[in-house]
Amino acid sequence: MDLRMIGLDSPLFSALQHMLDAADDSDKSVSAPTRTYVRDAKAMAATPADVKEYPNSYAFIIDMPGLKSGDIKVQVEDDNVLVISGERKREEEKEGAKYVKMERRVGKFMRKFVLPENANTDKISAICQDGVLTVTVEKLPPPEPKKPKTIEVKIA
């Protein structure tokens, strides 16, 4: 319903019209992905990583050229999800300079990794050297095998 058609052009009625239109749009997009989901999916797809397994640890390796430690965040969510995220900001333009071509990606990035059961989330280290971030997650020691319990047999 368009309230402007009946001559109600005041700001109050145009705000009401906007609210009614937004309510109609929200009903149509119940199954559509949210903007946050789409943004996170794009950020994850644009952040390639290598994962290596060593005898005592796992290593997650991601290229991070030109980033400072303050631009990178390493977290553990839900006790077993390693999240590596951050933001690569565009360089400030100097007066008189303009981009002729811009191919390097800027913006947010993120990767999530479900850690294996034997990952020790209390022993995680991260180092960024020569533009390569390496996150090392130590493994828990293997459980000791149970020794059989001997029960003494008594004679009655």
Q: What is the band of 140 on the pLDDT scale with cuts at 50, 70, 90?
A: very high
**66-87: average pLDDT:** 90
**8-24: average pLDDT:** 59
Rounded distance, CA 29 to CA 31, Å?
5
Token look-up 């971030």 returns 133
Full residue range of the structural domain in which residue 124 is found: 55-90+103-142
Q: Is residue 86 part of a domain?
A: yes
Q: Is residue 107 part of a domain?
A: yes
**132-141: average pLDDT:** 94
Average pLDDT, the chain: 80
**DSSP code, position 47:** -
CATH number at residue 81: 2.60.40.790
Q: Is residue 130 part of a domain?
A: yes
Q: How many residues does the chain have?
A: 156
Domains of the chain: total:
1
Q: Is residue 50 part of a domain?
A: no
Q: What is the band of 66 on the pLDDT scale with cuts at 50, 70, 90?
A: confident
Record the pTM.
Answer: 0.63
**8-23: average pLDDT:** 59
Q: Is residue 129 part of a domain?
A: yes
The secondary structure of 99-143 as a DSSP string is -S---S--EEEEEEEEPPTTEEEEEEEEEEETTEEEEEEEEPPPP
Q: Is residue 108 part of a domain?
A: yes
Query: Could you give phi then psi for residue 31, rounded to 5 degrees?
Result: -90, -5
Angle at 41 between CA 113 and CA 130, to 5 degrees: 60
**74-98: average pLDDT:** 86
Q: Is residue 81 part of a domain?
A: yes
Q: Is the pLDDT of residue 134 over 80?
A: yes
